[in-house]
Amino acid sequence: MSTTTAVATPTAPAVSSTRTSYYALLILSLINLVNYLDRYIVTVALPYIKQDFQLTNTQAGYLGSFFMLVFMLASPVSGFLGDRLPRRYLVATGVLLWSLATGASGLAKTFAVLMVARACVGIGEAGYGAVAPSIISDLFPREQRTRVLSFFYIAIPVGAAAGYGLGGWLSEAYSWHMAFFVGGAPGLVLGVMAFFMPEPQRGAMDGPEAQTKLPFLVGLKGLANNPSFWWTTAGYTLMTFSIGGLGYWLPTFLVSERGMSPGTAGFSSGAVTAVAGLVGTLAGGLLGDKMDRRMEGGGLRMSGVGLLIAAPLMFLAMKVDSHAPMFAIIFLAQFFIFLNSGPINAAIVNGVPPAFRAFAMGLNVLFIHMLGDAISPTAIGKVADLSSLSFAIELNALPVLLGGLSLLMAGKLFRHVSA
């Protein structure tokens, strides 16, 4: 990977965004929405799954951790292929695989079979997650990337909300099996559409000097010597540990320790997550672009401050028994967390050469899940078995605080990659 240089104002690329760029962004964003809908259906269906298979909290945590384990291990492989093969085919194949596996999850008669189905979901999602941001970076110029990536990542809170609401309603009205059947259907349509999505040239929006081919070992050496990438990954990992664990256990906490029904818990969690995530992600995209124009790494610095504010709010939310104030505090915490969705991912794609972006994203995915939400559901479940679920979630605010400090350091060290 080439060395990085400080550039106050990036040179505008010769190629501009077109209608096909926005069409591809829409398809990728809808896929991302279905991606997170699927992930969060399982969290709100978890009380029913636990009851059917007679699971402890620790065993229930394995279901989330095993999915993430497979997903994170497959992501660097997907990123490696994404820098060398037509990316739309990887996206389309991955979406079809995970959608079929989601439907198959509803057919599981044993916990072991359910674990295998969720592993296949992880493989399919890896084929998409590491590649999509690199496609978007080749569809839009650098000065627009934080905004368009924020639009792409709006799918996280909206998809999570849809998963909470749909999973809670279907599980309560019918069964958790039905929730998986319905959750897998939209991806089959979007997977077919992805085959016909535009395939942009690598580096098309980075000027004529952009590196579109790079030997793997050279790129790996450059990435190893990129401190901002690693501080960004550290901050993202700590945040992912915390928010992934919270998202997995929040509906169960509301049912077991706040006396809500699964349907009400799913709807309430989903509504708060959707609104806070939508507003926070959009605000982060606009503010991130503005901060990046003012200083290099400005978006990362803003993200770090957001996490520093969110950490005490997460802790405080577990201390409040009344539902309305508790959800108000959770809303504020999630708003400040979701500020970072666009700026963090824009910093990753802007800080590495076009020829190495998919692998860099895949490696980032590996670390944020390997040390993040691959272990946090089980870790929080274990702490809950030893004490209480509320104490486990209170303790979970600490990684958010440390993540904020890491992102501030990443912002200080960030440099745009040279063309």
DSSP 206-256: S-TT------HHHHHHHHHT-HHHHHHHHHHHHHHHHHHHHHHHHHHHHHH
Phi, psi at 206, each rounded to 5°: -115, 15
203 phi-psi bin (left φ>0, alpha ψ -120 to 50, beta other)? left
On whether the CB atoms of residues 245 and 396 are closer than 8 A, the answer is: yes
pLDDT of residue 234: 94
Please tell me the distance from the alpha carbon of residue 65 to that of residue 190, in angstroms, as a whole number: 26
On whether the CB atoms of residues 184 and 99 are closer than 8 A, the answer is: yes
pLDDT of residue 64: 76
Name the residue among 308, 265, 216 with its Cα closest to residue 46: 265
pLDDT of residue 206: 58
pLDDT of residue 419: 41
Please tell me the distance from the alpha carbon of residue 175 to that of residue 109, in angstroms, as a whole number: 13
Q: Tell me how far CA of residue 367 lies from CA of 130, 146, 221, 231, 345, in angstroms.
A: 12, 22, 17, 12, 14
pLDDT of residue 335: 92
pLDDT (average), residues 286-301 = 86
Please tell me the distance from the alpha carbon of residue 169 to that of residue 271, in angstroms, as a whole number: 13
3-state secondary structure of 329: helix
pLDDT of residue 406: 95
pLDDT of residue 207: 55
Share above pLDDT 90 across residues of the chain, in percent, rounded to a whole number: 22
Question: Would you call 405 exposed, middle or buried from its count of C-beta atoms within 10 A (0-12, 13-18, 19+)?
Answer: middle
- 12: number of Cβ within 10 Å: 12
Give the confidence band of 41 by pLDDT, cuts at 50, 70, 90.
confident
- List Cβ neighbours of 346 (8 Å cut-off, separation of 6 or more): 145, 146, 149, 288, 292, 299
Give the confidence band of 14 by pLDDT, cuts at 50, 70, 90.
very low
- Looking at the whole model, is its pTM more than 0.85? no
pLDDT of residue 13: 41
pLDDT (average), residues 32-48 = 85
Question: Would you call 355 exposed, middle or buried from its count of C-beta atoms within 10 A (0-12, 13-18, 19+)?
Answer: buried
Please tell me the distance from the alpha carbon of residue 387 to that of residue 394, in angstroms, as a whole number: 12
Q: What is the mean pLDDT of the chain?
A: 83
Phi, psi at 417, each rounded to 5°: -70, 145
pLDDT of residue 2: 38
3-state secondary structure of 410: helix
pLDDT of residue 50: 86
